[in-house]
Amino acid sequence: MEVKQFASAAVSPAFKVQDNKDFDERVINSKVPVIIDFFATWCNPCRMLTPRLESVIAEKQGKILLAKVDIDENTDLALDYQVESVPVLIAMKDGKVLERIVGLQDTDKLRKFVDKYVNNE
């Protein structure tokens, strides 16, 4: 049974944050670095960024996670992290914000951004 739990937990390094409690448990308390993707469903640049970012995160095989935060569903989190426009990406490790980038990014820039935190463990 333990193997099954491990397998289901390791299926995807990307997840959608449900609420503040979920954010605290899965992002703030994460043992690995996390990229937080603040987005909105109505945001076209967000829709272009998400598949690129998911692809880069998947390449890292669980060494970094992707937490997707819908700003319309989680306005408190957006305010807490001073998200004034979307998309915003925040790199976090051990509950501390390390870096933020704003706006649509190409895949190469995303890979460099993510690599800094995977290789810096």
Task: From 87, 92, 71, 96, select the one nearest 16 (Cα to Cα).
Answer: 71
What residues make up the domain containing 41? 13-116
Supply the pLDDT for residue 3.
42
Amino acid identity for residue 109 in this structure? K
Instruction: Tell whether 84 is covered by a domain.
Output: yes
**Residue-wise pLDDT tens digits, 6-48:** 443 445 789 999 999 999 999 999 999 999 999 999 999 999 9
Q: How much is the pLDDT for 34?
A: 96
CATH number (domain holding residue 77):
3.40.30.10
For 38-93, what is each residue's pLDDT tens digit? 999 999 999 999 999 999 999 998 899 999 999 999 999 999 999 999 999 999 99
Confidence of residue 120 (pLDDT cuts 50, 70, 90): low
Cα(74)–Cα(18) distance, integer angstroms: 8
Would 99 be classed as within a structural domain? Answer: yes
Q: How many domains does the chain have?
A: 1
Are 97 and 43 contacting, i.e. CB atoms less than 8 angstroms apart?
no
Q: Just list the catalytic residues.
A: 43, 46
* pLDDT given at position 16: 94
The DSSP call for residue 99 is: E
